Amino acid sequence: MNVNNTQHKKRGLALAVAGVMLSPWAQAADVNISGFLSVGGGFVDDENSIAYGGYDDEDLTFDKNLLGLQVSGQVNEKISATVQMIARSNDDYDLTAEWAYLTWQATDNSKVRVGRLRTPFYMFSDYLDVGYTYAWISAPQELYYLPFNNVNGIDYYLTSALGSFDTSFQVYFGSFNDDFVLTGISATAESKNQMGVAATIGRDWWTLRAAYHQTDLTIEFSDFQLSETVSFNQFLGQLQASPFADTVSKVLVDEDRTTFAEVGLNIDTGRFVAAAEYVEFDVEDSFLSKNIRHYIMGGVRAGDFLFHVTSAKSDDELATPEAGIPASAETAPLIGTLQAIAATRGEFRDTMSYGVRWDVSSGVALKLQYDDVDDNKGEQKVFSVALQSVF
């Protein structure tokens, strides 16, 4: 039911924007169409170990393809409409409107956008689907894993020159309702009162970025098995009936205050490129761990080739829903179960990635990447390839 609703909302919004652009008073104006494409695949060296980057098969699979189309039209001198539609192979090429918004150019240096926008969590969030704009095949997944990419709301974006520095400032307010899969468990998420700020300062070849977001998050998990005999919902029922009923709220994600903080640095001198990012994502009073993730990347260009190496790390802090329950022989199984639930949500991983990007011609890049993954659940080596383009 929820799935259908979300789909209808997405299509409705896309149709509305398309309608605006096709209306008679827009026909005379400029309509810009641009697009991007990524075709790629990969394989792992041990299919009995962990999956990484969407790959878990020793045979080469080409299932990471996407095609994006963006149409923007000038409604009048100050107002434009934009819709970005993306079809992904791992979504059966269902066309969805990832973005659809109206822009009001308030001044030369500031604009207000209303509609479905990309949430500016990370340094590469804005153009995450446009692989052509960065060195990797896809951004390090230790950080770039949040399923909540977009938000319905309003934002304000301002650029300005401070002396010889270029700065930008973005602030937004909104909410979302989304279905996703969290390590094999399907869930529905809803955010309320979501707001955030992202700011950059830079000059010539470097840019510093910082962002902070917060929301009241609710996640409803489908019932899943904790053990062969007990499901998640059964366990919660038992907990509710126990003297420790107030612990239920420390497990569930129910309008819990959620925060996301990020700092990043991006460098491109033409010859050398480098990037580093650090994030913390915390859903208070829930069984989800506090995610602490970072990476550092360095690379060098030689002619049409860019060679790069990246070290990424996940070092989460497990939740402690058992806190406050007195330890005794009777409570030991309960404490054990709560700790086991929390332990499933932590990621402890070191990944080294080596890659090369070849600019075949203007607008087309061929990329190869090798990831050496060392996870607390296993090891993995991943080989992947992609052809990425903008047009």
Partner 1 sequence: MMKNFLRSLAALAIISWSGLALAEVAVIVHPSASVDSLTADEISRLFMGKSKSFPNGSPAIPLNQDDGSATRDVFNQEICNKSPSQYKAYWSKLVFTGKGTPPKDSGDDAAVKALVAGNPKMIGYVDASVVDDSVKVIHKLP
Query: Does residue 133 interact with partner 1 by CB under 8 A?
Result: yes
The answer to whether 335 and 325 have CB atoms below 8 angstroms apart is yes
Query: Does residue 240 interact with partner 1 by CB under 8 A?
Result: no
Residue list 155-214, contact with partner 1 (CB under 8 A): 157, 159, 161, 166
Residue 307: CB minimum distance to partner 1, A: 15
The answer to whether 213 and 195 have CB atoms below 8 angstroms apart is yes
Stretch that binds partner 1, among 11-19, 50-58, 129-137, 241-249 (CB under 8 A): 129-137
State which of residues 10, 20, 42, 84 lies at the interface with partner 1 (CB under 8 A): 84
Residue list 278-297, contact with partner 1 (CB under 8 A): none
Cα-based distances in Å from 110 to 72, 124, 176, 288, 338: 18, 21, 25, 38, 49
Instruction: Give the span between the Cα atoms of 48 and 59, in whole angstroms.
Output: 13
Residue 132: CB minimum distance to partner 1, A: 6
Q: Which x/- pattern, by CB under 8 A, does the window 7-26 give for partner 1?
A: --------------------
| Residue type (1 letter), 64 | K
Query: Does residue 390 interact with partner 1 by CB under 8 A?
Result: yes
State which of residues 10, 116, 118, 349 lies at the interface with partner 1 (CB under 8 A): 118
Size of interface with partner 1, in residues (CB under 8 A) = 34
CA neighbor of 12 nearest in space, from 220, 191, 152: 152
Residue 47: CB minimum distance to partner 1, A: 35
Query: Does residue 72 interact with partner 1 by CB under 8 A?
Result: yes
Q: Which letter, b or e, does each residue of 128-137 get, where b requires 16 or more Cβ atoms within 10 Å of its Cβ?
A: bbbbbebbbb
Residue 359: CB minimum distance to partner 1, A: 4
Query: Does residue 121 interact with partner 1 by CB under 8 A?
Result: no
Length of the chain: 391
Place of tokens 């209808």: 8
State which of residues 304, 317, 374, 379 lies at the interface with partner 1 (CB under 8 A): 304
Interhelix angle 332-343/232-241, nearest 10 degrees: 140
State which of residues 55, 121, 122, 132 lies at the interface with partner 1 (CB under 8 A): 132
Residue 174: CB minimum distance to partner 1, A: 16
Collapsed DSSP state (helix, strand, coil) of residue 156: strand
Question: What's the Rg (C-alpha) of the chain?
Answer: 23
Cα-based distances in Å from 292 to 47, 123, 216, 365, 380: 27, 16, 20, 32, 21
Residues that bind partner 1 (CB under 8 A): 32, 34, 36, 68, 70, 72, 82, 84, 99, 101, 103, 108-109, 113, 118, 126-127, 129-130, 132-134, 157, 159, 161, 166, 268, 270, 304, 359, 362-363, 365, 390
